[in-house]
Structure 1
Amino acid sequence: MSTTTRRRIKLATHAPEFYQALIALDEVSATGLDPKLAHLVRIRAAQLNGCAYCLDMHALDAVHEGDTGQRVNLVATWREARKFYTEQEQAALELTEAITLISVDHVPDEKYDIAAKVFDDKELAQLIGLIIMINAWTRVGVTCRLEPGHYQPS
């Protein structure tokens, strides 16, 4: 990593139309999904992508909206802590990892099928959209070096 800090742009300032389109897409990305599940998906993708800003935001939102700190803290090791997560949440986390790490093994049928068994087609489509959306946001956060610690849940 470079020892010199380089200027990082703010997309909201320099590409406002694109940024607003991301916000609009984000607003519909979790429609119909359990909010706790949606936050777990966002948290896991943020962890995998190394986006401290998104991880901070969605962990705070999850707790603010009634999830437990224990579940939020354990999501990185959800396989070892399965008893804390529903079957749907486990399937969603599995699919989140497959889509987020798509360059590793694409999205294997067996991982897709796990989610397809516990979500109806509409829910599965929404889940895929949510995962794609949080991956877009984490890339904004990492690329623009958004700093955690300033976000407050509304």
Structure 2
Amino acid sequence: MTTTSTTTRRVKLANLVPDFYKAMIELDAVSDTGLDPKLAHLVRIRASQINGCAYCTDMHSLDLRELGEDQQQRIALLPVWREASKFYTDQEKAALQLTEAITLISVDHVPDDVYEVAAQAFDEKELAQLIALIITINMWTRVGVTGRMEPGHYKP
């Protein structure tokens, strides 16, 4: 995948379709209601990593640290969380597995066993919020990747 182009100007959705962008912000504001904030940022980071969105990965890593996440290893090992499972709770592992399935929905269409693990780890309302959060961060990463948003500018 080629991502280096300095000649193509990318549109800024916030400037050109402000109503759409505002709706995204409003959706984002309610997408993680009721979920543990640290878990929500782990989910956001993982989806951002999968989608190759450096801006969102940077942003949510900083936000997670701002929430007091002091285990740098948990953030660093997120791409290989299965191999480093001792750093994550069972609920976080269920959320990460569901995040990967929804983010890569064209691969396996969210297998029943993955969904069931998440359904056991969360009550119905939390599961619905988790799904909403995963869908929302996938939307944001598409904005970030398409617009070639660069990391290093976000301040928590």
Which range, TM-score by smaller chain? over 0.9
Q: Which amino acid aligns with 1:119?
A: F
TM-score by length of 2: 0.96
Aligned equivalent of 1:52: 54
CA distance in 1, matches of 2:98, 2:106: 14
CA distance in 2, matches of 1:4, 1:98: 33
The number of aligned residues is 153
TM-score by length of 1: 0.97
Structure 2: 5+ residue runs without aligned partners? none
Aligned equivalent of 2:112: 109
Report the alpha carbon displacement of residue 4 of structure 1 after superposing the two structures with TM.
Answer: 5.1
Q: Which amino acid aligns with 1:148?
A: P
Q: Which amino acid aligns with 1:37?
A: L
Identity of aligned residues (%): 69
Aligned equivalent of 1:23: 25
Structure 1 stretches of 4+ moved >2 Å: 1-5
Aligned residue among 78, 86, 89 for 2:92: 89
Aligned pairs (5 A) from 1:3-152: 3=5, 5-67=7-69, 68-152=71-155
The DSSP-based 3-state class of the residue aligned with 1:146 is: coil
Structure 1: 5+ residue runs without aligned partners? none
CA distance in 2, matches of 1:7, 1:101: 28
Q: What do residues 49-92 of structure 1 show as CA deviations (whole Å, max 9, x unaligned)?
A: 00000000000100111112211111111001111101110000
